[in-house]
Each structure stands twice: as structure tokens, then as C-alpha cells.
Chain A
Amino acid sequence: MKLRIAAPLVAIALTTAACGGGGGTSAQPSGDGKSFEFWSFTGIDQKKSVDRYQKENPGVQVKLTEVGGSTETAQALTTALAGGKVPDLVLIQGDDLPKFVQQPQNFHDLRQFGADKIKGDYLDWVISQSTAKGGEIIGIPTDVGGMAVAYRTDLFKEAGLPTDREEVGKLWPTWDAFIETGRKYTAATGKAFVDNAATSVFYQAVNQGPMKYYDPSGNVVYSTSPQVKTAFDLAIKAAQAGITAKQSSFSDGWSAGLGKGQFAVVSAPAWLLGQIERNAPDTKGKWDIAAIPGGAGNWGGSYLAIPKGAKNPKAAWDYITKTQSPQSQLEHFVDSGSLPTTPSVYKDPKLTGHKDSFFSDAPTGTIYTNSLLGLKPFHVGTDSAAIGQEFLNALENVEQGKGDAAKAWDAALANIKTAIGK
């Protein structure tokens, strides 16, 4: 507590002192071409992909670092770009990507390596998110979210609800029906139905439609977009229905709640399944996966990018092409459950026939790709993550019983305006 007077100031100043304008080092790569440094984030299991690549390409050394969560990794990358010492390859989460796409001079334009030729392999709305204004492609998509709902069959049975995944999906064609089902469940068991309203309702519903926080030409419209208001009101309704466990996603209480059956339902994009499995290993076979209310939509997904100052851009690109080809993405899906961004494999029996034993042998490949097929893509902008966070905060505050539901929407808009300045 003592003598730390200048610590935060020093921290800011030292970091800024090191930066002389981002990404100035575009000179000849100085690496050996045989090894490269790869920054990923935790929870996405890139190690499996790296291990397979190293087995198939002996002599290439991949130095994989799991920096932290996706946000921390993006922060570390920004600092690294500003400071000039960067990894050769980095995994960036979809929400964090726009900030980097806006400053494409910090990255290699992957077209110079031939990204133009392979870009047709990927879902066009996904690759368009990593394409800068000038046409530079700065990232190749590794996976997409896709949406579904994970539910506990044992708890549904206790509550007298159907347990078959088809029938469960029919319980909630709409979010209103979902909330009604929640009321029935809570009335029958006295327990919470869903983990929380902010992530499991708002974050899903807001991702289902053509216009989220930005219009197609990139103007902010979060305050007028009907899609946003509808999703917000649904979440308020869910919070007030008393069917939520009030556990913020990914918090310690949430992880514990998964295992203890504190709630029976979690909205689960493809990449979340692994987290359920890791946090609640004892619940194997008690979960199943049903379609999400409202149909198609996507939440999440990541991209591989090569910073401009990379020492071994060629080695990094080789890794991208080999591990992100449709066949490799399919194999990665079978290994770790990350949903491919390459639609050509969506009909492959390896994907459609894949069953996840942790989730009562649910055909995860079919369920998640179905949720992508009818999808209407929306524009993701620089401040999408910040806007989403403020909406989540306002909803969580209502859910915790602290905030006034009637004023929550206006409060969220005011906070967003302060945060992003528009």
C-alpha cells in the first residue's frame, strides 16, 4: 500500500514510451522459417491442432502460448503491436476483431500469401468480417459459434417436462415460449430454470437477425435497431419472471452451478460445450442439446492473423493453410467440437454423424450447422463488444434486483454513449 505512488502512471507511460506509431517494422522477416510463435487464448484447445500439425510437419517448431482469456489476449496483442515485439501468429476472437480490422497496417495482408484463392472455402459473411475497407484480408476464420440450448435431462424429468431433444426444441419455438417453459419448470421444482437472463437470453436473441448494433453501412444504430430492443425486453421479462439463477456466465458461481444442477438450461454456442464438460465432469450423460428459440444465429468464433512485425510469416501462413483447410477444420471439430467455418464439410458424414457422448450422444454437428444455415449476417463494428457489455451490465443489474427494469434501457443507452462517445 505504501510507496506505490507512481505505479499506474509509470505503467501507462512506459508502455506508451515504447510505441512509436504502430507496426512500423515491415522490413524483411528475419526468422528461420522453421519455427514460429503462436498466441492463443485459453478454453479453445488450440494445442490439439498444434500437436497434429507438428506430427505431420516434423522439423517445424510451434511455440504456443495461451495468453489468457480472449479479451486479455487481444489486449496483449495490442500492447505487443504498439511495442513492436509481436508473435508470428495470433488467434483473435470475433468480438475483438473489428478494432484490428480498422487498423490493417498492423497485420500482413493475407492476400499476398494467396488468401484470395482460398477465401471461397469459408462462409462469406464470416470472412467479410476480417476484410478491411481496402480489401485487405487480415484473418482466416477458425470456427464459428452456431447456437443451441444445453439442458439437463434428469432435471427436466423431475419437473415433468419432456426430455427428448426434438420435443424439448418444440417446447420453445419462440423466446416467449422459452420463458413460459421456465415458469413451468420453476413452479414444479422451486429451482431456477436458466443460468441468467443477460447472456442466455439477451446475447442469443440479439444475435438472431440482420441488424444488431450497426447498420449494413457501418453506422451505429444500437438505440434504434428493433432487434436490440426486442432482445433487451425479452431478457428483462426473463429476469422478472424469477426463473434465472442470477449467475453471470463464466463466473465461479456459474461453474459451480453447472455441476450442482442450480439451473437446468444454458444457452450454449458450440464452443461453450467444452466449458460445460470441463466445469462439471460429473454430469456426463445428464445433458442434452436442443434447438434454440428463434432459430438461426451465431455467437462467437475466432480468426488467425499474422502481425506485420512477425519474424516467420511464411511458417505461420503454412500453419494457417494446413490447419484451416476444410478437411482440417472437420478433424478439429471431431477432436474438440469447434464448429468449422467451411460450409463444404457441413454435409460430410463425419460431421453430421458426430455424436457427443457427454451430451447424451447429441448430433452436435447437425444441430449447430443447422443454426447457421438460415442466418442473416449483421455488421460487426469497432465498438460492438463495448456496446454489448453495457447492455449486459444493465440487464445483470436488473436481474440482481438492484436496477429499475423500467429505466434499464435508458440507463444502458446513456452508459453506451459515455463509453463510446456516440
Chain B
Amino acid sequence: MTTTLSTSRAASTPPAVPTRVRQSIRERVAPYAYVAPFFLIFAVFGLVPLLFTFYVALFDWNPIGERVFIGLDNFTRLLDDARFWNAAWNTISIWLLSTVPQLLLALGLAHLLNQARLRLAVFFRMSMLVPYITSVAATAIVFAQMFDRDYGLLNWMLGLVGVEPIDFKQSVWGSHLLIAAMVTWRWFGYTTLLYLASLQAIPRSLYEAAAVDGAGGWKQFRHISIPSLRPVIVFTIVTSTIGGLQIFTEPLLISRVSAVTCGPVRQCQTLTLFLYEQGFGQFQFGYGAAIGVALFLLIIVMATINYVLSTRTRSERS
């Protein structure tokens, strides 16, 4: 191999100096030009609005009235606002309730779908995507009806075995569970396929060798599958942190009357809903933007914690 390489290098005659400079400039610029569209679009639709949000957060801004510079007042008000902490707590609770089961379920399913002897494998794998491609609004409406206190399927079935109807939407835990169930249902298939793709990249011979050495299914899963999945698990944890902290549509749709507060005591109001309520319900753009900034910081903190935790466990194990 070394010989081939050196011959090919020797064969190409070195170009004259001017061309070489021009070419190397082009070569250096080309990659940037190729990725430029992404950065331009990101700048226009991501970075500028982001910076503008920081700017808006410094004002008492009524869209149809006045705009007064108030410095960091919106942020100090936010820290004192029980509604903000309630929304932050709801968001984290719903995120945990939806992410943990979702990732575990996806791990298990991916392992099952990766079995060599599975019949109809393609069918099962494709069906994983069905919840993902279903509109989130449709999902929310169906779930809200299933979990309804008086006319819901779930309470009807509980009623058959003599359980009193449960009002999921009105209680804190009930509404969190309901929303978490929707999120889990919608995303587990997507995550499963990510894991499955990773699993498929593991050489079968590794499993066969392990089997020969006497390792059972569980041992194979723990010592071969999980370690190879680690990068993609870190990826899914980080992305589901980002997404989970921004849950909006599901709580908005399960209670359509008091939608932006998600119930009389804001029992399932998430941070994005609170942002929407303040920004577009009360039309306090400055305060809404301050909530946006707080959410942004929270996501960065949580994602970093997740990342550090999951990479640290890897270095300890290996």
C-alpha cells in the first residue's frame, strides 16, 4: 500500500508556483463555499432572531403601543415569578417522564428488531415510523379523548373493573403522564430506528464469537450492543433534551379551553406555553423574550450536564 501511494505521488508532476497558489486558494475556499448556505440560513433564521430576542428582552414592549427600555427588569421579575418556576418544573417533569421510558423502550425494541431470525423484519421496522409521521395535533386530540374524564376510552375500561374515573387533565401527575405518553408514543419509533441503524453496523461475527464463548442474549446486549450504541445514545439524550424542554403542542391541545395555561392552576403549562401566553396572549413581548432567553440557557445547561454525564460514564467504564 505504501508503495502505491508513493508512486502515485511521484507520478503527478508538481504544478508551477502561480497555479499552485491560485489552486490552493480555491481549494481552501471551496469547502467554506459548500457549507456557506447552511451558515447563511442559520444566520438569517437562527442567529439574528436569537440575538434580537436578547435585545427585545431588555424592553417593556407592547406591540401596539409603546416600547420602554428597562434593562434587566424582565429577568429579575422572571426570577420572582412563581408561574415561571412552576412552568420550569412542569417542563422538566414532563421531559423526564417522556424521555426515560422512551429511550429504554427504543433500546429494547431496537435489540428485538436486530435479531437475525426475525420474520417480517422490514414490516416491523417501517411500522416504527408510523407514530412519527402522524400529525402531532391528531395525536394530541386522540389522546385527549382517550384520557377524557367522562367519555374517555381509558376511564370506560377502568369503569368495567370498578375503578372510579380519573381526571387526568385536572391533576398535576395525571396531566404530566398524559403528555409524556403522547411524546413517548410519537418519538419512540424514531429513536428505535436510530439505535437499530447503529446496531446493524456491529459485525455479526462479534455476537457469534460471544455466543461461542457462552454469552447469553442479555450478556451480548450489555457487553456488545450497549457499548457500541453509546455515541448514538448520547446523541438521542442531547436531542431529546432540546426537544423535550420545548414541548408545546401537546399541552396546548389537550385542554382547548384554558389552552395557554393548560388547566386552572397551570398544572401542565410548559415553558414554551408560558412564553406564548406572555408574548402572544398578554402581549408583553419583552417579558416573553426574557422567558425565551431563560429557556435557551436552561437547554444549554441541561444538554451540557447530559453530555458530560454520558461521556464520563464511558471513560470510567473503558
Give the size range of B's interface with the partner: 35 or more
> A1-B243, A12-B275, A256-B151 given as contacts; is B257 within 8 A of A251 (CB)?
yes
A400 touches B167 (CB 8 A): yes
Report A-chain residues with C-beta under 8 Å of the C-beta of B49. 6, 9-10, 12-14, 17
Report B-chain residues with C-beta under 8 Å of the C-beta of A163. none
B299 touches A253 (CB 8 A): no
Report A-chain residues with C-beta under 8 Å of the C-beta of B292. 8-9, 12
Report A-chain residues with C-beta under 8 Å of the C-beta of B281. 71, 75
One of A8, A247, A257, A400 near B248 (C-beta < 8 A)? A8
Please name 28 pairs of A and B residues whose Cβ atoms are closer than 8 Å in the assembled complex, sorted by A. Answer: A1-B183, A4-B242, A8-B295, A9-B49, A9-B53, A9-B292, A10-B49, A12-B279, A12-B292, A13-B49, A13-B50, A15-B280, A16-B52, A16-B285, A16-B289, A22-B64, A75-B281, A75-B283, A78-B283, A79-B63, A99-B283, A103-B62, A248-B258, A253-B150, A397-B264, A397-B265, A400-B167, A402-B265
> A12-B292, A103-B64 given as contacts; is B151 within 8 A of A253 (CB)?
yes
Determine the distance from Cα of A64 to Cα of B72 in the docked complex, in whole angstroms.
43
Is residue B189 contacting chain A, with contact meaning CB distance below 8 A? no
Interface-side segment among A278-286, A371-379, A388-396: A388-396
B53 touches A82 (CB 8 A): no
Is residue A386 contacting chain B, with contact meaning CB distance below 8 A? yes
Secondary structure of the A contact surface, majority rule: helix
> A8-B292, A16-B285, A402-B171 given as contacts; is B264 within 8 A of A82 (CB)?
no
Report A-chain residues with C-beta under 8 Å of the C-beta of B248. 8
- In the assembled complex, the CB of B147 is this many whole angstroms from the nearest CB of chain A, namely 12
- In the assembled complex, the CB of A102 is this many whole angstroms from the nearest CB of chain B, namely 7
How many positions in chain A have a CB within 8 Å of any CB in the partner chain?
54
Is residue A7 contacting chain B, with contact meaning CB distance below 8 A? yes
Report B-chain residues with C-beta under 8 Å of the C-beta of A394. 264
Total of A-B residue pairs, C-beta within 8 Å: 143
> A13-B48, A396-B264, A402-B265 given as contacts; is B65 within 8 A of A1 (CB)?
no
Residues 138 to 157 of chain B near chain A (Cβ within 8 Å): 144-145, 148-151
B276 touches A8 (CB 8 A): yes
Report A-chain residues with C-beta under 8 Å of the C-beta of B257. 248-251
Report B-chain residues with C-beta under 8 Å of the C-beta of A106. 64
Chain B 219-242 interface 0/1 with A at a Cβ cutoff of 8 Å (1 = within): 000000000000000000001101
Is residue A406 contacting chain B, with contact meaning CB distance below 8 A? no
When C-beta atoms are compared, the residue in chain B nearest to A77 turns out to be: B64
Report B-chain residues with C-beta under 8 Å of the C-beta of A15. 63, 280, 285
Residues 32 to 87 of chain B near chain A (Cβ within 8 Å): 45-46, 48-50, 52-53, 56, 61-65, 67, 81-83
